[in-house]
Structure 1
Amino acid sequence: MDDDQSFVNSYPSVQPAPDEGVISVDVSRDALVDSMTDMSETPIPPDIIASVGTTADNEEENGRLTLAYERLYEIPKTIVERFSDHIKYLDISHNKITNLDALVYFKSLTSLIADDNPITENCYLPPLPKLELLWLNRCKIASLYPWVGKLKESCPNLQYLSLMGNPAAPSYFNGGTFYEYLQYRLFVISQFPSLNHLDDRRVTEDQRLEAQRLYKRPFFERMVKPAGLSQIVNTSVTWNTFQNKINNFLGKDKQGNRNLLI
């Protein structure tokens, strides 16, 4: 079909470093491209065929597709063409994917598992208005700004979000303090009114109210002056910089009541 061929020609390709090995999988030909040899094609291992080919035959019925642990640098074009219209649950965890642009074709997607991929704050999700669950644990997201705002625009109806193990999500596990964790948590909650679960904990009504109080626009504007809100919206700001600003604004006495929110 002309439309399909046009899509194949226009779909961006993400190329890895020369020493990374396998760079893509072509399920339609049961072959993969190997950058470490002079051969243009080698057979796909049986485990990949089993998980992508055999399992995929049943996806029209249950709307689930798993591409985990396949050493992928991108979502294969053949998978996008064949399943994007009806897949609701997609697992691409434990790969080497850095670009999620292909998800724009998954119009019915409600759940996305993308743990353990080298995804950074420079990777923006395309509009996914039906997405309710997003897991990006143990990725490479180092800054919340402006990434969280872009995520809110792309996925306004998120109910379950998990960012554990990212540098931008402070916790005891990556050297963050309780106060850093609390600030991170309340800010993310403030961006998603429908969020029911963040990381490993349910969002409580007290947390939601406190998040709205702290991060409503007048407060936010006062906090970022004199540079102005546009500086945070349009540039990447580290969490430490933002934390220093909010610490100065709130004062250290705020920490005395911090245990009430968790």
Structure 2
Amino acid sequence: MCDSSIPPDLIMSTEGAPENEDPTRLTLAYENLYELPRTIVERFSDHIRYLDISHNKITNLDALVHFKHLTSLIADSNPVTENCFLPPLPKLELLWLNHCKIASLYPWVGKLKESCPNLQYLCLMGNPAAPSYLNGGTFYEYLQYRLFVISQFPSLNHLDDRKVTDDQRAEAQRLYKRPFLERLVKPGSGGFSQLVNSSVSWGNMQGKLASILSKERPNRNLLI
């Protein structure tokens, strides 16, 4: 957290919400912030449930540890990478990290699961690690990415721009059990722990995933 040069208009905009505004919501979007100012954290962290810090230059989210009651976080269009881990936010249900700089799912998704085990709504569109038509990914790559993320969050109801279906959840659980992931690791390379504890780009795993999944084509209706 920083103390220096907090814009006066930012302080004034957070000084007492009008009666018709929700005092549990705080918007700091488009404020050219590099991190959350200490003054803002100390003043609002005890009661804020909805926080919008989108369209800033924030790379470190450690200050969110003080927002004990946070249920919704909008952090779109910040230079957040897979090296930026969220602090424990057990009450967080909605997380938007669209158009950030997340380039690798491993081990980032596992860390996210540990920090936010109760996520119901997750949006990662526009990140290199989330293949889609937005960044030139194929539908097959998108489906692999989608099923893997769904497998990590049992309570997830909505991923990116689509609802999680029962068929997708069942297929995700079938494919991404530990024996399946172990087949992605070469013998003698450290096994499953090597896979989850190292940063591996989704693109580097594409060949192995395609080879395995081509032999186990799902019969369920996974297309939305």
Using structure 1 for the length normalisation, give the TM-score.
0.78
Specify whether residues 187 and 49 from structure 1 end up closer, same or farther in structure 2 by C-alpha distance, changes over 3 A only: same
Report the AA paired with residue 174 of structure 2: R
Verify: 1:169 aligned to 2:130, yes or no.
yes
Could you say which residue in structure 2 is the equivalent of 1:5? none
Secondary structure of 2:106's counterpart equals: coil
Partner residue, 1:92: 53
Matches of 1:94 and 1:107 in 2, distance apart?
A: 23
| 14, 34, 38: which one aligns with 1:52 | 14
Counterpart of 2:204? 241
- Matching residue of 1:141: 102
Q: Report the AA paired with residue 212 of structure 2.
A: F
Supply the distance in 1 between the matched residues of 2:21 and 2:133 (Cα, whole angstroms).
42
Partner of 1:251: 214
- Over residues 155-207 of structure 1, what are the superposed CA-to-partner deviations in whole Å (9 max), with x where a residue is unaligned? 00000000000000000111000000000000000000000000000000000
Which residue pairs with 2:166 in the alignment?
Answer: 205
CA RMSD of aligned residues (A): 2.3
- Mapped contact 1:60–1:87 kept (Cα < 8 A): no
Is contact 2:167-2:221 (8 Å) kept?
Answer: no
Q: SS in structure 2 opposite 1:224? A: coil
Task: Give, as a single letter, the amino acid of the residue that structure 1 aligns with 2:51.
Answer: L
- Which digits, 9 at most, give the CA deviation of each residue in 1:191-246, with x for residues without a partner? 00000000000000000000000001122123324231111111100101222221
| 1:135 aligned partner, one-letter code | W
Q: Distance in 2 between matches of 1:61 and 1:97?
A: 25
Cα separation, partners in 2 of 1:61 and 1:94, compared to 1, 3 Å:
closer
Distance 2:158 2:78 in 1: 22
* Residue of structure 2 aligned with 1:229, choices 182, 187, 192: 192
The SS at the match of 1:134 is strand
Please give the TM-score of this superposition, normalised by the length of structure 2: 0.91
Unaligned runs of 5+ in 1: 1-11, 14-22, 27-31, 33-43
In 2, distance between residues paired with 1:143 and 1:24? 33
Identity, % of aligned positions: 76
Query: Which consecutive residues of structure 2, in runs of 5 or more, have no partner in the other structure?
Result: none
Q: Deviations over 1:66-106 (max 9, x none)?
A: 00000000111011111101100000001000000000000
Structure 1: distance between partners of 2:20 and 2:119: 23
Q: Rate the CA distance shift 1:25–1:161 in 2: closer, same or farther, 3 A.
A: farther
Report SS of the residue matched to 1:104: helix
1:77 aligns with 2:33: no
Give the distance between the partners of 2:39 and 2:216, measured in 1 at CA.
57
Question: How many equivalent residue pairs?
Answer: 222
1:131 partnered with 2:97:
no
Task: Supply the AA of the counterpart residue of 2:86.
Answer: L
| Amino acid across the alignment from 2:205 | F
Any idea what SS the aligned residue of 1:82 has? helix
By relative contact order (CA 8 Å, sep 6+), the higher-ranking structure is 2
Q: Which moved more, 1:213-222 or 1:133-142?
A: 213-222
Going from structure 1 to structure 2, the CA distance change for 1:142 and 1:58 (only over 3 Å counts) comes to: farther
Q: When you count helix as a share of all residues, which structure comes out higher?
A: 1
